[in-house]
Amino acid sequence: MPFLHVYAIVRAGHAAPEHLVGVGDPPGEVRLVASGPIAAVVSEVADDFEPEDEDAVRHFDVLTALVRTGPVLPVRFGTVAPEDAAIRDELLDPVVDDAVASLDELDGLVEVRLTVDVDEDRELRDVVATWPELREEARYADGADLAYRIELGERVNDALAERAEVRDDRIAEALRPLVVAEVRLPTDAPTTSRHAFLVRADELRILDAAVAALRKDLGDGYRMEYVGPLPAVDFIAADDLRGRRDASRWGW
């Protein structure tokens, strides 16, 4: 018995692009399951469906295809249901009011993400130039005990983080006139800046130009990844839509 994999909640009248490739093997046809003013975007998968890497990418691609024709509330990847009725009863109907409100709020808006990597060696050089004592202490790091090295590394990290903050501000400042809302996303290292911007879909071209200008302004030594349009995953007040929410993602 096939299952339905759920991608997102959209308006019931959402003009979904045709021929979307769903998850699973073979990929199922992507269709809408409507209930009142909203609908879930689903495709059939085998009942033993286990998501794999390709499926993650396909799920992502379905979301980004959908967002080109209207507002989208993404559903967490890996959500499955046995049949249409279950989706209506458990997924759509309980959130219908909030979903309608959220979809209205997001109408005409999309998210873009900007990741900027700065050359680590360059940053380290600047840090050491500013705090020469770090260089001095690093002399003893080789072969020193773990505590010493962790402590030293942490201070280097803090210095890099300070610079990162300045860089973050600069990036945000450059795009602010075009941005409805912005979020700074967690990064893997203080040599990386990650921003999510909520922008008007019809101003994407202008934003492209602004990003290009920012890139030029930053100059060499920076690498940039610029992705969009995405569903506004970083701006949706998901708490209201979640059936249950534990206190804090990072509260441990």
Partner 1 sequence: MSVVSTSGQPAARAERPGGLAEVLDVILDKGIVIDAYVRVTLVGIELLTIDARIVIASIDTYLRFAEAVNRLELGSGEQAPGLPGLMRGVTEGAAKAKTKGALAGAKETVKDTASDVVGIFRGDDDSRQRRSGRGGGGGRGVIASMKDAASDVVDRFRSDDDQDEQDEQQESADTGSRGPLAAVKETASELVDRFRSDEPDDERAEPAESTEPAGSARAAEPAGASANEAPAEGGGTSTGRGGSASGRGGSAPGGGTGRRESAKPAGREPGRGVPAERRPPQR
User: What is the footprint of partner 1 within residues 100-129 (CB under 8 A)?
Assistant: 112-113, 115, 117, 119-122, 124-125, 127-128
202 binds partner 1 (CB under 8 A): no
10 Å CB burial of residue 24 (0-12, 13-18, 19+) is buried
Looking at beta carbons only, is 22 or 231 nearer to partner 1? 231
Shortest reach from residue 16's CB to partner 1, in Å: 17
Cβ 50 to partner 1, closest distance in Å?
A: 6
Token couple for 72: 């989208």
Rule CB under 8 A: say whether 238 interacts with partner 1.
Answer: yes
Selected from 57, 181, 206, 237, the binder of partner 1 by CB under 8 A is 57
Angle at 110 between CA 72 and CA 30, to 5 degrees: 35
Cβ neighbours of residue 245 under 8 Å, at least 6 residues apart?
Answer: 239
Under the criterion CB under 8 A, does residue 228 sit at the interface with partner 1?
A: yes
**Spatial distance between the Cα atoms of 245 and 252, rounded to a whole number of angstroms:** 15
Helix 146-175 vs helix 204-218: crossing angle, to nearest 10: 130
| 190 lies in the binding site for partner 1 (CB under 8 A) | yes
Give me the least distance between CB of 139 and partner 1, in Å please.
7
Beta bridge pairs of residue 213:
none
Residues 68, 84, 19, CA angle at the centre, nearest 5°?
35
Residue 124 or 180: which CB sits closer to partner 1? Answer: 124
Tell me: does residue 249 bind partner 1 (CB under 8 A). yes
Q: Which residues between 23 and 52 bind partner 1 (CB under 8 A)?
A: 25, 47, 49-52
Window 60-99: residues binding partner 1 (CB under 8 A): 60-61, 63-64, 73-82, 86-87, 89-91, 95
Q: Does 233 bind partner 1 (CB under 8 A)?
A: yes
In a 13 Å sphere around the CA of 80, the CA atoms on its Cβ side amount to: 17
Q: Report the Cα–Cα distance between both ends of the chain, in Å, rounded.
A: 40
Closer to partner 1 by CB, 138 or 180: give it.
138
- Among residues 180 and 204, whose Cβ is nearest to partner 1? 204
**Interactions with partner 1, residue window 138-167 (CB under 8 A):** 138-139, 141-143, 146-147, 149-158, 160-161, 164-165
Contact 70, 107 (CB under 8 A): yes
